[in-house]
């Protein structure tokens, strides 16, 4: 890596984190009034909004309805100003279509789809600012939005990325680390039951190191889960505390 | 701060930063709070209710909410969700499709609800037979966009609701305002129809749809099942009462308060010192909600 | 696309030479000292108008209109059933497509609709919609195609007038016809029915009170069905320009009526002739 | 527009209310709902702003990029408007569902900015005939609660006020010119948005007209007039929209109201934006975390 030291001799990354440290996560549930569920998450400078509509009657052609489970419909979209260089189209390009598919697969695995036969759940994700880990932030935001909508899930789905730089695995990589050409591993898990629902790896990584990187990424998802869970608990406590006092 | 100086200005632009965060002091985490994936119990003697699932012989949660136990049944109720209908619920719905001998009704459920031609009172009395003529007249009775109040008659196996309006209190709704709040804010109570002393009527639908209208005298309107509508202008006074109630209910909903008749009246009374439109201002909202809360605590204890 | 191999191809993105033309450093004078415009018209004079209905034989209805060098043709098809209907509606639908022919302007237009043409299509639709009895053809659609064969200013206004005649010629039930008129505002002056050189262009006319107004009127109901403006203008001037456009629109009404009467008469005579032949 | 279905009786109730100058939420016909604004919310843009008007939420990002000026305007930069209706706002916008509305908004925005007297494009010129700034103004619609045109235009004006374009120095070096873009965040060029317009939509409902219509009111409206109004009270663009028609006299009335309200909006917007600026760097961005 010419001129760019991803990991300093002292063991710090460009943004000052240690290899195993996540970026700061801030999130909020219930952003929108009209959607059934919504959430906003900031992971460092990556900022994502998610909205969930449903479960509701299938819109458009009835033919899409599944007789034994709910149809999970996703759309991944990036604001044209979200990237360093302006994007020409917010969606419809190959990359976002792929993301849309990945999101759909991820949430098909986590939502208890059998509970709502013949209906549909929409998950819409909008990346407002992108600084690496778009998929991860999207999954994390969508999880919160699904929970906010009160849709039953087996567990949270949390996603985290990892890379491998100068013999050290690093977690939750930023755009700079992502674009340096090193390997990138993305994983989404159900943290409590420790199951992997999505796994992707790009670029070259020696097989001996795979487990090290994967372990760190999975650990990352658990850390993410911890933060999200905290936010959900706070949100629910706040809302229901109020409801209870009123009923007395 | 601008708001107070220029509260009567037609245009009111503020900075997001100047809004006082209405965040109440973070309360201690309430008891029995669970989030998706949590294990509630590994005791197999319990029955699995809503919001839970069984895996590895353990009872897990699938939503975020508080665990409720009724005898052997364990369920978790999420704070916010689509409407889950139960037989006997009062709902308000909008006709979205006129079909063969049935109407499709939007009730904020996971599937569209059904209103059968045989489940409505037609003009001319309850015992009248439904003729082929009636089938052709269906759009004449209720057409796309019309609002109705109804009761849940039964729940189909896939969860879709079947409604009926075979009581004089149900039927097509006339002039008034519809509000939408989260269904969880409307408590199941003995009555959901209220003629409030301030001169307006209110239907609190279990599905989170709330109907507000000026109170009409009993004889007119209800007799016909609402098919003949009174489209005469409503007086300005009635209109303002309805608008005030609307804003009060929305203020309560914005603060996550449960909605029922006395609570709404408290808010209404607390709001009386402000002009109707000012109730939409965040600081006024917070103030009247605090007054209401205080009063509820005092009177409740 | 077949290309001419002997021709020297220009650069891939070519520009019309007109933009490099020197304007001799002087502003174009719109009004001379005698209050006359470049083509000799007074401020409130409009160009002579030629209008004829029923000229495209395949279309259900059509019209052709000329205002000196501005030439517009319109064809109407339908009502026909909407193939892919999303929601049930008792009302019919109109679609409008506004297109400058590739050769119609000073610079070449692309064969596909560009942004300006799409904007004009929407404005045309909104000008015509109020005049058509949509409830008379539920579940079906009427398609209006307007092509500007030559643009010498006021194309949108001409398109509105022409399209309403074509709709009437197609025997689509209407509450009223729609007539269009444009005005150019320059300083304190209002120039009605501007030609190309008089039209407002934001790159040149950079002082306040330079702009244009286009109005669509249903003359017998005296209802405004379209109004648009461009350029920074004071409200008083817009109002004055609108009033003047209104008057012109009203004046155009008999011209439209006559052209329709003429086309109906012709059709009746044709029918009579064919009747004679058959009997 | 975003579809909301209403029954005939609801429409009549709204219509009579407007006639009585008492709307469903108690506002009078010329009242605007309370509006919240914040600028500088997306850090990798040249300027950005977020506007919330009741349930309408709009985010605008401005990105300045270098490009070639158009040959017919060699000494001027360009504004490029792009509107995206996010499916977050309503599932109706999924895929290309929001495109029609988006084009309508961006067309009217570019038309109302298309007069040199209200926005000086020559300030975006770097090297006449060769290099200029192109400002991509991207409007993202996140939630719909009615009156999208007005809210978009307000957000755009705020984002332009917030825009800071890096200074460029042109150096002649042995016949060829070199551009040097300053990377000092304080060595920037601001835009003059003093006379930039805001759009005011007047919705004709029954025999009266209202400003800042809610979604339910929009469902009752057959014809509306949209006017770009500057602080001075001039008009930069006007458009009638909808399937209905208007009486010439009521067009004048609507223009009159539009002028008054439009000036009000411009004045209080400028005032608020200046107030925000005075808070300076100490101000914490709130964004969607609140």
Task: Please name the residue of chain D whose CA is at the shortest distance from the CA of residue C13.
Answer: D71
Confidence of residue B138 (pLDDT cuts 50, 70, 90): confident
Q: Tell me how far apart the alpha carbons of residues C137 and B281 are, in angstroms, rounded to a whole number.
A: 47
Q: Which chain B residues are within 8 Å of D16, Cβ to Cβ? A: 175, 233-234
Quote the pLDDT of residue B140.
87
CB contact under 8 A, D136 and A126: no
Task: Please name the residue of chain A whose CA is at the shortest distance from the CA of residue B296.
Answer: A246
Q: Which chain A residues are within 8 Å of B65, Cβ to Cβ? A: 150, 236, 240
- The number of beta carbons lying within 10 Å of the beta carbon of residue C50 is 13
pLDDT at A57 over 60: yes
Residue for token pair 């500088």: D40
Structural domain harbouring C189 = 39-80+92-267
Confidence of residue A243 (pLDDT cuts 50, 70, 90): low
Mean pLDDT computed over every residue of chain B: 85
pLDDT in tens, D35-53: 999 999 998 899 999 999 9
Q: Which chain A residues are within 8 Å of B23, Cβ to Cβ? A: 238
Distance from CA of D285 to the nearest CA of B (A): 8
What DSSP string runs through A111-136?
Answer: B-GGGSTTEEEEEEEEEEE-SS-HHH
Quote the pLDDT of residue B4.
36
* Lowest model confidence (mean pLDDT) among A124-133, A221-230, B226-235: B226-235
For C208, the closest of D76, D103, D117 (CB atoms) is D117
Q: Tell me how far apart the alpha carbons of residues B146 and B140 are, in angstroms, rounded to a whole number.
A: 11
Quote the pLDDT of residue B128.
61
In terms of average pLDDT, the best of B254-263, C37-46, C80-89, D257-266 is D257-266
Confidence of residue C6 (pLDDT cuts 50, 70, 90): low
Q: Tell me how far apart the alpha carbons of residues A189 and D136 are, in angstroms, rounded to a whole number.
A: 38
Of A242 and A95, more confident: A95
Tokens of A172: 């939750």
Structural domain harbouring D254 = 8-282
Query: What is the pLDDT averaged over residues C121-126?
Result: 94
Residue C13 lies in a domain: no
Residue C74 lies in a domain: yes
3-state secondary structure of A30: coil
pLDDT in tens, C189-226: 899 999 988 888 876 666 778 899 999 999 999 999 99
* Omega within 30 of 0 (cis) for the link into A55: yes
Residue C20 lies in a domain: no
- The number of beta carbons lying within 10 Å of the beta carbon of residue C80 is 12
- Interface partners of chain C (CB pairs < 8 Å, 3 or more) are D
Tokens of D157: 């004006």
Q: Tell me how far apart the alpha carbons of residues A96 and A90 are, in angstroms, rounded to a whole number.
A: 9
3-state secondary structure of B230: coil
Quote the pLDDT of residue C101.
94
Residue for token pair 């800042």: D212
3-state secondary structure of C84: coil
Q: Tell me how far apart the alpha carbons of residues A59 and A56 are, in angstroms, rounded to a whole number.
A: 8
Query: What is the pLDDT averaged over residues B267-276?
Result: 94
Quote the pLDDT of residue D174.
78
CB contact under 8 A, D138 and A77: no
Tokens of D205: 């409902």
Number of H helices, E strands in chain C: 3, 9
For B10, the closest of D7, D24, D31 (CB atoms) is D31
Domain count, chain C: 1
For D138, the closest of A31, A81, A126 (CB atoms) is A81
Q: Which residues contact A63 (CB under 8 A, 6 or more apart)?
A: none
Of D198 and C140, more confident: D198
Q: Which chain A residues are within 8 Å of B255, Cβ to Cβ? A: 242
For D107, the closest of C20, C119, C246 (CB atoms) is C119
Residue D92 lies in a domain: yes
CB contact under 8 A, D289 and A90: no
pLDDT in tens, B37-52: 999 988 888 889 999 9
Rounded alpha-carbon distances, angstroms, from residue C228 to C153, C210, D23, D228, D289: 15, 14, 28, 11, 41
The CATH code belonging to domain A25-246 is 3.30.230.70
Query: What is the pLDDT averaged over residues D251-261?
Result: 94
**In the CATH hierarchy, which fold is given to the domain comprising B31-78?**
OB fold (Dihydrolipoamide Acetyltransferase, E2P) (2.40.50)
Query: What is the pLDDT averaged over residues B72-87?
Result: 91
Distance from CA of D62 to the nearest CA of B (A): 20
Query: What is the pLDDT averaged over residues C246-275?
Result: 91
Quote the pLDDT of residue B230.
74
Mean pLDDT computed over every residue of chain C: 87
Q: Tell me how far apart the alpha carbons of residues A238 and D35 are, in angstroms, rounded to a whole number.
A: 26
Q: Which residues contact D26 (CB under 8 A, 6 or more apart)?
A: B240, B243, B244, B246, B247, B275, B276, B277, B279, B280
Rounded alpha-carbon distances, angstroms, from residue D198 to C201, D201, D258, D259, D268: 21, 10, 10, 10, 12
- 10 Å CB burial of residue D178 (0-12, 13-18, 19+) is exposed
pLDDT at B149 over 50: yes
To the nearest 10°, the Cα dihedral for B286, B287, B289, B293?
130
pLDDT at B228 over 70: no
Is ipTM > 0.85 here?
A: yes
CB contact under 8 A, D82 and A80: yes
CB contact under 8 A, A242 and B36: no
What DSSP string runs through chain D?
Answer: -------HHHHHHHHHHHHTT--TTS--TTPPPPEEEEE---TTSSEEEEEEETTEEEEEEEEEEEEPPPTT-TT--EEEEEEEE-TTT-GGGTTTTTHHHHHHHHHHHHHHH--TTTS-GGGGEEETTTEEEEEEEEEEEEE--S-HHHHHHHHHHHHHHH-EEEPEEEEEETTEEEEEE---TTSEEE---TT--EEEEEEEETTEEEES--HHHHTT-SEEEEEEE-TTSEEEEEEEESS--B-HHHHHHHHHHHHHHHHHHHHHHHHHHHHHHHHGGGPPP-TT--
Rounded alpha-carbon distances, angstroms, from residue B255 to A216, B2, B128, B292: 41, 23, 47, 12
pLDDT in tens, C42-81: 888 999 999 999 989 899 999 999 998 999 999 999 888 8
Taking a C-beta distance cutoff of 8 angstroms, is the pair D101, D1 a contact?
yes
Taking a C-beta distance cutoff of 8 angstroms, is the pair C199, C211 a contact?
no
A84 in contact with chain D, both atoms CB, cutoff 8 A: yes
Query: What is the pLDDT averaged over residues A145-161?
Result: 95
Q: Tell me how far apart the alpha carbons of residues D231 and B191 are, in angstroms, rounded to a whole number.
A: 54
Quote the pLDDT of residue C114.
87
Apex B222 CA angle, B218 and B226, nearest 5: 145
Confidence of residue C234 (pLDDT cuts 50, 70, 90): very high
Kindly give the residue spans of alpha helices, DSSP state H, lying in C5-96. Answer: none
Quote the pLDDT of residue D281.
72
Residue D120 lies in a domain: yes
Q: Which of D39, D82, D91 to mutate to test the interface with A (most CBs of A within 10 A)?
A: D91
Taking a C-beta distance cutoff of 8 angstroms, is the pair A91, D86 a contact?
no
pLDDT in tens, D51-88: 999 899 999 999 999 999 988 788 889 999 999 999 99
Residue for token pair 């706070």: A234
What DSSP string runs through B96-128?
Answer: EEE-SSEEEEE-SBSS-EEEEGGGSPPTT-TTP
Q: Half-sphere exposure of D140 toward its Cβ, with a 13 Å CA cutoff?
A: 27
Taking a C-beta distance cutoff of 8 angstroms, is the pair C126, C144 a contact?
no
Q: Which chain D residues are within 8 Å of B96, Cβ to Cβ? A: 5
Mean pLDDT computed over every residue of chain A: 90
pLDDT at B129 over 70: no
CB contact under 8 A, B82 and A241: no
- The number of beta carbons lying within 10 Å of the beta carbon of residue C77 is 18
Confidence of residue C8 (pLDDT cuts 50, 70, 90): low
pLDDT at C155 over 70: yes
* Lowest model confidence (mean pLDDT) among C108-117, D59-68, D266-275: C108-117
Query: What is the pLDDT averaged over residues C132-139?
Result: 88
Residue C72 lies in a domain: yes
Query: What is the pLDDT averaged over residues B213-239?
Result: 71
Quote the pLDDT of residue D192.
92
Taking a C-beta distance cutoff of 8 angstroms, is the pair A128, D59 a contact?
yes
Query: What is the pLDDT averaged over residues B210-220?
Result: 77
Residue D129 lies in a domain: yes
pLDDT in tens, D150-191: 999 999 999 999 999 999 888 887 778 888 888 888 888 999
Query: What is the pLDDT averaged over residues A29-33?
Result: 91
Quote the pLDDT of residue D13.
94
Confidence of residue B124 (pLDDT cuts 50, 70, 90): low
pLDDT in tens, B158-211: 889 999 998 888 999 999 999 999 898 898 888 999 999 988 999 999 999 999
Residue D74 lies in a domain: yes
For residue B259, the 8-state DSSP code is: B
For A34, the closest of D65, D138, D143 (CB atoms) is D143
Q: Which chain B residues are within 8 Å of D27, Cβ to Cβ? A: 277
pLDDT at C127 over 70: yes
Confidence of residue B301 (pLDDT cuts 50, 70, 90): very low
Q: Tell me how far apart the alpha carbons of residues D246 and D244 are, in angstroms, rounded to a whole number.
A: 7
Burial C177-206 (b: 16+ CB within 10 A, else e): bbbbbbbbbbeeebbbbbbbebbbebeebb
For residue C132, the 8-state DSSP code is: B
pLDDT at D282 over 90: no
Tokens of C153: 């200013």
CB contact under 8 A, A126 and D44: no
Query: What is the pLDDT averaged over residues B235-264?
Result: 92
Kindly give the residue spans of alpha helices, DSSP state H, lying in chain B. Answer: 2-5, 132-136, 138-141, 236-254, 261-271, 282-300
CATH number at residue C110: 3.30.230.70
- Interface partners of chain D (CB pairs < 8 Å, 3 or more) are A, B, C
CATH number at residue D231: 3.30.230.70
CB contact under 8 A, D73 and C223: no
Q: Tell me how far apart the alpha carbons of residues D28 and D206 are, in angstroms, rounded to a whole number.
A: 15
pLDDT in tens, A161-186: 999 998 899 999 999 999 888 899 99
pLDDT in tens, A199-216: 999 888 999 999 999 999
- 10 Å CB burial of residue B21 (0-12, 13-18, 19+) is exposed
| Chain A residues with CB within 8 Å of chain B CB | 30, 36-37, 54-57, 112, 116-119, 147-156, 190-193, 229, 232-248
B263 in contact with chain A, both atoms CB, cutoff 8 A: yes
3-state secondary structure of B37: coil
pLDDT at B22 over 60: no
Q: Tell me how far apart the alpha carbons of residues B176 and D264 are, in angstroms, rounded to a whole number.
A: 32
* Omega within 30 of 0 (cis) for the link into C79: yes
Q: What are phi and psi of D142, to 5 degrees?
A: -105, -30
Give residues 32 to 61 of D whose Cβ lies within 8 Å of A. Answer: 42-45, 48, 55, 57, 59, 61
Q: What are phi and psi of C151, to 5 degrees?
A: -110, 115
Q: Tell me how far apart the alpha carbons of residues C177 and C219 are, in angstroms, rounded to a whole number.
A: 7
């Amino acid at each position: 890596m010419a001129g760019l030291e991803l990991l300093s001799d002292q063991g710090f990354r460009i943004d000052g984190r240690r290899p195993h440290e996540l970026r700061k996560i801030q999130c909020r549930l219930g952003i929108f009034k009209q959607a059934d569920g919504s959430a906003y998450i900031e992971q460092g400078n990556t900022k994502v909004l998610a909205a969930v509509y449903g479960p509701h009657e299938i819109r458009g052609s009835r033919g899409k309805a599944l007789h034994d489970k709910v149809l999970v419909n996703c759309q991944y979209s990036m604001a044209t100003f979200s990237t360093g260089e302006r994007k020409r189209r917010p969606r419809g390009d190959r990359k976002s279509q792929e993301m849309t598919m990945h999101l759909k697969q991820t949430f098909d695995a986590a939502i208890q789809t059998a509970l709502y036969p013949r209906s549909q759940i929409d998950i819409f994700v909008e990346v407002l600012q992108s600084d690496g880990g778009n998929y991860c932030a999207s999954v994390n935001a969508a999880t919160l939005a699904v929970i906010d909508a009160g849709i039953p899930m087996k567990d949270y789905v949390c996603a985290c990325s990892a890379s491998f730089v100068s013999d050290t695995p690093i977690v939750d990589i930023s755009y700079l680390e992502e674009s340096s050409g090193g390997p990138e591993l993305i994983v989404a898990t159900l943290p409590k039951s420790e199951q992997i629902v999505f796994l992707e790896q790009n670029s070259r990584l020696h097989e001996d190191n795979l487990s090290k990187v994967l372990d760190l990424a999975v650990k990352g998802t658990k850390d993410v889960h911890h933060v999200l869970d905290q936010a959900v608990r706070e949100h629910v406590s706040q809302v229901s505390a109020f409801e209870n006092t009123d009923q007395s | 701060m601008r708001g107070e100086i220029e509260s009567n200005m037609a245009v009111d632009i503020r900075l997001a930063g100047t809004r006082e965060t209405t965040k109440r002091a973070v309360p201690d985490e309430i008891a029995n709070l669970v989030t998706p994936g949590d294990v509630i119990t590994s005791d197999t003697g319990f029955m699995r209710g809503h919001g839970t699932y069984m895996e590895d012989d353990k009872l897990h949660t699938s939503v975020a909410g508080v665990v409720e136990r009724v005898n052997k049944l364990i369920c978790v109720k999420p704070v916010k969700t689509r409407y889950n209908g139960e037989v006997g619920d009062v709902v308000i719905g909008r006709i979205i499709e006129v079909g063969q001998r049935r109407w499709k009704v939007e009730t904020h459920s996971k599937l569209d609800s059904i209103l059968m031609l045989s489940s409505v009172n037609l003009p001319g009395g309850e015992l009248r037979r439904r003729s082929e003529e009636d089938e052709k007249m269906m759009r004449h009775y209720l057409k796309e966009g019309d609002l109705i109040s109804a009761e849940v008659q039964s729940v189909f196996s896939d969860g879709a609701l079947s409604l009926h309006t075979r009581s004089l209190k149900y039927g097509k709704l006339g002039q008034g305002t519809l509000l939408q709040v989260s269904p969880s804010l409307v408590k199941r109570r003995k009555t959901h129809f209220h003629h409030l002393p301030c001169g307006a009527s209110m239907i609190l639908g279990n599905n989170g749809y709330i109907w507000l209208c000026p109170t009409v005298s009993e004889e007119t309107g209800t007799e016909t099942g609402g098919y003949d509508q009174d489209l005469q202008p409503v007086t300005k006074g009635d209109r303002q009462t309805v608008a005030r109630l609307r804003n009060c209910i929305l203020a309560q909903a914005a603060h996550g308060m449960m909605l029922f008749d006395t609570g709404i009246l408290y808010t209404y009374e607390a709001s009386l010192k402000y002009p109707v439109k000012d109730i939409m201002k965040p600081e006024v909202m917070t103030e009247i909600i605090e007054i209401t809360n205080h009063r509820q605590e005092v009177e409740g204890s | 696309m077949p290309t001419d191999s002997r021709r020297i191809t220009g650069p891939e993105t070519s520009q019309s030479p007109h933009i490099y033309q020197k304007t001799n450093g002087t502003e174009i004078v719109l009004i001379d000292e005698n209050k006359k415009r470049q083509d000799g018209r007074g401020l409130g004079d409009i160009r002579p108008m030629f209008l004829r209905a029923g000229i495209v034989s395949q279309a259900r209805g059509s019209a052709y209109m000329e205002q000196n060098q501005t030439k517009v043709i319109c064809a109407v098809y339908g009502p026909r059933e909407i193939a892919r209907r999303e929601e049930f509606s008792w009302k019919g639908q109109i679609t409008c497509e506004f297109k400058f022919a590739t050769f119609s302007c000073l610079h070449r237009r692309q064969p596909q609709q560009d942004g300006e043409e799409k904007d004009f299509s929407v404005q045309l639709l909104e000008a015509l919609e109020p005049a058509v009895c949509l409830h008379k053809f539920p579940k079906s659609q009427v398609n209006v195609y307007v092509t500007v064969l030559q643009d010498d200013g006021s194309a949108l206004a001409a398109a509105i007038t022409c399209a309403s005649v074509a709709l009437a010629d197609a025997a689509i039930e209407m509450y009223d016809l729609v007539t269009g008129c444009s005005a150019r505002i320059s300083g304190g002056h209002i120039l009605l029915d501007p030609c190309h050189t008089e039209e407002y262009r934001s790159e040149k006319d950079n002082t306040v009170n330079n702009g244009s107004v286009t109005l669509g009127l249903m003359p017998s109901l005296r209802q405004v069905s379209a109004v648009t403006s461009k350029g920074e203008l004071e409200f008083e001037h817009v109002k004055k320009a609108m009033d003047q456009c209104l008057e012109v629109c009203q004046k155009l009404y008999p011209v439209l009526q006559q052209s329709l009467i003429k086309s109906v008469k012709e059709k009746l005579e044709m029918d009579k002739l064919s009747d004679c032949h058959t009997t | 527009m975003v579809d909301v279905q209403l029954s005939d009786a609801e429409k009549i109730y709204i219509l009579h209310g407007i006639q009585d100058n008492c709307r469903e939420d108690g506002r009078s016909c010329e009242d605007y709902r309370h509006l919240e604004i914040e600028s500088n919310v997306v850090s990798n843009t040249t300027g950005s702003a977020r506007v919330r008007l009741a349930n309408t939420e709009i985010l605008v990002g401005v990105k300045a990029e270098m490009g070639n000026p158009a040959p017919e305007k060699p000494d001027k930069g360009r504004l490029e408007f792009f509107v995206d209706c996010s499916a977050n706002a309503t599932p109706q916008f999924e895929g290309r569902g929001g495109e029609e509305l988006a084009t309508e908004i961006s067309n009217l925005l570019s038309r109302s900015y298309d007069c040199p007297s209200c926005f000086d494009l020559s300030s975006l010129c770097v090297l006449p005939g060769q290099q200029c700034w192109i400002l991509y103004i991207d409007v993202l619609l996140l939630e719909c609660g009615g009156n999208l045109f007005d809210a978009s235009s307000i957000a755009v004006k705020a984002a332009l006020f917030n825009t800071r374009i890096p200074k460029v120095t042109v150096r002649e070096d042995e016949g060829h010119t070199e551009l040097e873009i300053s990377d000092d965040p304080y060595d920037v060029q601001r835009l003059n948005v003093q006379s930039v317009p805001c759009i005011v939509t007047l919705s004709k409902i029954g025999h009266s007209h209202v400003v800042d219509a809610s979604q339910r009111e929009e469902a009752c409206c057959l014809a509306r007039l949209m006017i770009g109004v500057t602080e001075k009270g001039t008009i930069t663009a006007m458009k009638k929209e909808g399937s209905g028609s208007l009486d010439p006299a009521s067009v004048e009335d609507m223009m009159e109201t539009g002028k008054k309200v439009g000036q009000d909006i411009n004045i209080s917007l400028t005032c608020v934006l200046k107030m925000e600026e005075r808070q300076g760097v100490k101000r914490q961005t709130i964004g969607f975390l609140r």
